[in-house]
Amino acid sequence: MSVEFVSEGIPVSLRDLDELERRLGVELPSDYRSFLLRRNGGRVHDNDLATPEGEEIGIAVVSFLSLGSEGGDSMDEFLGVYSGRYPKELLPVAEAVGGNLILIRVEGRMKGEIYFWDHEQEGDEEPVWENLTLLAPSFDQFMEALVPYVD
């Protein structure tokens, strides 16, 4: 069972996505582009990330970032606050609990991979990979691994 959305972002167009890619100088993975076209981010019910074996690992998404929105869930806001704090091959796609991030790899051979970024372990002067944990090989697989939180 996948996680349910409480709210979604304002709908975006292919033109909006093309503009984002032009501005960032990257091509977004197709599954993430589809997500933005379908939902454009949004807040989700309490959730947890499960391993393929079904074990919950304590990484939860607060909200997925939206294009063109203002406020707490805006991708532009997160790009401004966190730019230069994670490797340049990555792009924030969601806010995780505890002020951490969920990032997607937008460059290189491993394009599309999803990572958890732990802000408490970030490098002092330059971004490091040591505070990143690979969560899924693709955005779609990451979404499939998000499950409702059960107390």
- Bridge pairing between strands 42-43 and 61-64: antiparallel
The dihedral region occupied by 55, where left means phi > 0, alpha psi between -120 and 50, and beta the remainder, is beta
Q: Which residues does 12 contact at the CB level (< 8 Å), separation at least 6? A: 36, 37, 40, 67, 68
81-121 confidence digits (pLDDT tens): 998 999 999 999 999 999 999 999 999 999 999 999 999 88
What pTM did the predictor assign? 0.93
112-150 confidence digits (pLDDT tens): 999 999 998 887 788 989 999 999 999 999 999 999 988
